[in-house]
Amino acid sequence: MRTLKLTVAYDGTRFVGWQRQAAGESIQGVLEDALARFEGGPVTVHGAGRTDAGVHALGQVASVRVSCGLDTVTLTRALNAQLPEDVRVLSVEDADDQFHARFSARTKTYRYMIRNGPIAMPFERAYVWHVPEPLHVDAMQAAAALLVGTHDFAAFRSVGTANPDSVRTVVRSLVRVVEPSLLAYEVTGEGFLRYMVRALAGTLVEIGRGWREPANMLTLLANRQRADAGATAPPHGLFLVAVDYH
């Protein structure tokens, strides 16, 4: 048996998310089905992050235990021949037997894209959140910077989350102007709660609209009430960019 590390990119538009579910296609499901063809039996693929329906990835990482003897270059090519065109295996590497895509990860980086102009091109409708009214980018940048550090992010997680531990460490949080009218919120952390990045993005947009002051971020962190924070931004603007293991 060997452990493989797969780096995967996908357009999440039509998928139910990363995790295999009873109904609908998942990224995990199509990867497991493709690998099973070469393994000769079922396999279980573990992802670094369980992206939700409609969320995309530029550098998702997965791990799997297999007995398949194909070399990594051949297996990369063979998997892509089996996978749908909206899922691509960028690389396959042999990894240490102790490697696990989720539990071995040190940090993950997400990017949330916002088209801030009166019109969004139809070709990008599945990859940006279109916010037509002007946003105060400097206020958003000031608010994003306040998130760096170890905080209780209970105000930014999905309602009804079973895990009582909502303390997470964010090592990088910034809003940058990619091009005129295109903004990216980029955040790197040691771990994220479900919907956390989308809730942060939604709150940052409210700050950009002038509905909140940047310092309100600190109040939200302190009060820990999800109802006080901004709306959850739509999934299609979110990308899992990279997972770091060093």
Query: Mind telling me the catalytic residues?
Result: 52
Q: How many angstroms separate the CA atoms of 191 and 211, rounded?
A: 28
Helices (H), the chain: 27-39, 72-82, 137-145, 196-208, 216-223
Q: Which of 230, 235, 233, 232 is nearest to 219 (CA)?
A: 230
Cα angle for residues 159, 164, 165 (degrees, 5° grid): 115
Q: CB neighbours (10 Å) of residue 60?
A: 30
**What CA–CA distances, in Å, run from 5 to 20, 55, 66, 77?**
19, 21, 11, 15
Q: How many angstroms separate the CA atoms of 53 and 215, rounded?
A: 32
- The residues with which 113 forms a beta bridge, in sequence order, are 184
Question: Is residue 169 exposed (0-12), middle (13-18) or buried (19+ Cβ within 10 Å)?
Answer: middle
Cα angle for residues 6, 167, 207 (degrees, 5° grid): 95
- For the record, the structure tokens of 110 come out as 């997400």
